[in-house]
Amino acid sequence: MKNIIKTISIFMIALGAIFTPTIAGAHDADCPYCKLKLVQNTDAMDNEVVVKFGNKKIEYRCMFCVFADQHKFVGDVVVYAPSEKVGEPIIVKRTSGQWTAPAGTVFLNAFTSHQQCAGLSRAFTSRAAFDNYARRNNVSNPKPLTLAQFMQAVKEALAD
């Protein structure tokens, strides 16, 4: 009996060694739109933008990348946008072709290169949260945007 338990233990350790790098490496990926590395959550700030549509889940680097790539999504979509509150994403939805966000949601879209997009293309639960983030992060000329304004800004940037 002791040999069986020892054999099973060794087998479990071997399985862990085989699959741990795969699991850890699977999360270290590139954004499907801008091809830059995804920015992971930290203890102080959420950064992962997750899109769910159908049975699929895709992570993006920022909100701009999600909306620039939205033509790939079929049917209804749910976007879990990192907010200023760790562990409390803002839920942005497209239902029957119509995008919605919770009342009071404010968007920032102030990056000049995609290297900055994760920090400068975000959603906030309120104007006060937006202002606080812009002040703490020295955002140059921050403009609070509604969802419609944010979508228009993405559309205009793609047209350039």
**How far apart (Å, rounded) are the C-alpha atoms in residues 39 and 28?**
9
Give the CA radius of gyration of the chain: 20
Query: What amino acid is encoded at 149 in this protein?
Result: Q
Summarize pLDDT for 16-33 with one digit per residue, the tens.
444 434 333 345 789 999
* 125 close to 85: Cβ distance less than 8 angstroms: yes
The pTM of the full predicted model, rounded to 2 decimals, is 0.79
Domain that holds residue 109: 2-159
Summarize pLDDT for 93-146 with one digit per residue, the tens.
999 999 999 999 999 998 887 778 788 899 999 999 999 999 999 998 899 999
For residue 103, give the CATH number of its domain.
Answer: 3.30.450.410
Q: How many domains does the chain have?
A: 1
